[in-house]
Amino acid sequence: MIRNRVYSKGEIVYALISSTSNHDVLFPTRCVIHDVKHGDTITEYHVRIDQFFDDLDFLKRFLFGAKFKKGFDGGVTKWKLLRKNYKTKSDFDELMVRSGESYKVVVDGPMICKTKIEMMELFNKIHNFFIEHKIYELFELCGRSSYSDGVYYYKSKGVFKAHLLKFLGDRGYDGDKYLDDILFRATSRELDKID
C-alpha cells in the first residue's frame, strides 16, 4: 500500500491541480488546506489556491474556461475569469490573494507536497511521462500503413528514431533502450497472446 503524508486544515502546501476536462495539463500551485476527507483508498483535500506558478500566457490558454472538482461530493466549478482583465501576472496574482475564497478545488493526496521543490520534482516526473506518451502517440500516427501517402509518414521506427534523436539533442535520455521503450509497438503475435 502506498502511503502519502497527511496534511492538516490551515496548512500551506504546494499542489498540482488538474481540470476535469483536461487531465494532461497540471498547474503547479501554492494552496491553503480548508478541509480533508480520508477515503478508503485516497485522501482528498479541499484547498484554496493563492498562487499559480505558470506564466500568464499559459494560464490564459489552459486555466481560463477550465472546469475543476469543487467539493468532496462531486460537482464541478468553472471560474469566471476574463482574459482581457489581466495584463500581467501580478494582476492575476493579486486576484488570487484578494478573492481566493472563490478559487477552491479538490486535490488528490498524492498531488500535494510540503515544499515547492518537492512539487516541482513531482511535476517534472509526471510531465516527462505526458511528453513521452505524446511522442509515442505521434509515432503511432506517423507510422500507420494507411497513412503511407501522408506528409508526415515514417516507414520505419529507425527513421523516426533518428529524427527524434536529432530533435532531442542532448536532453538527457539514456540511449537507444530508452527510446525503444518509448516507441515500443507490440506485434500482432504479441497482441494475440493477450486474449
Tell me: the pLDDT tens digits for 7-54?
Answer: 899 999 999 999 998 888 999 999 999 999 988 888 999 999 989 999
Q: How far apart are CA 26 and CA 16, in angstroms?
A: 6
The residue with cell 497513412 is 147
Q: What angle do CA 161, 166, 169 make, to 5 degrees?
A: 115
Q: How far apart are CA 112 and CA 110, in angstroms?
A: 6
Q: What is the pLDDT of residue 39?
A: 84
Q: Exposure pattern of 55-82 as b/e (b: 16+ CB <10 Å)?
A: ebeebbebbbebebbbeeeeeebebebe
Question: Which residues make Cβ contacts (< 8 Å) with residue 137, sequence separation at least 6?
Answer: none
CA contacts within 13 A on the Cβ side of 66:
23
Nearest Cα to 67, choosing from 75, 58, 76?
76
The residue with cell 506485434 is 187
Q: What is the pLDDT of residue 1?
A: 46
Compare 126 and 165 and report the one with higher pLDDT: 126
Global pTM reads 0.85
Question: Which residues make Cβ contacts (< 8 Å) with residue 51, sequence separation at least 6?
Answer: 29, 30, 93, 96
**Residue range 90-115, pLDDT digits in tens:** 888 888 877 766 789 999 999 999 99
Phi and psi at residue 32, to the nearest 5°: -120, 130
Q: What is the pLDDT of residue 9?
A: 92
Residue type for 111, please?
M
Q: How far apart are CA 42 and CA 149, in angstroms?
A: 48
Q: What is the pLDDT of residue 157?
A: 86
The number of angstroms, rounded, from the C-alpha of 150 to the middle of its chain's C-alpha atoms is 31
Distances (CA, A) of 66 to 22, 63, 101, 161: 8, 5, 18, 35
Give the whole-number percent of the chain exceeding pLDDT 70.
91
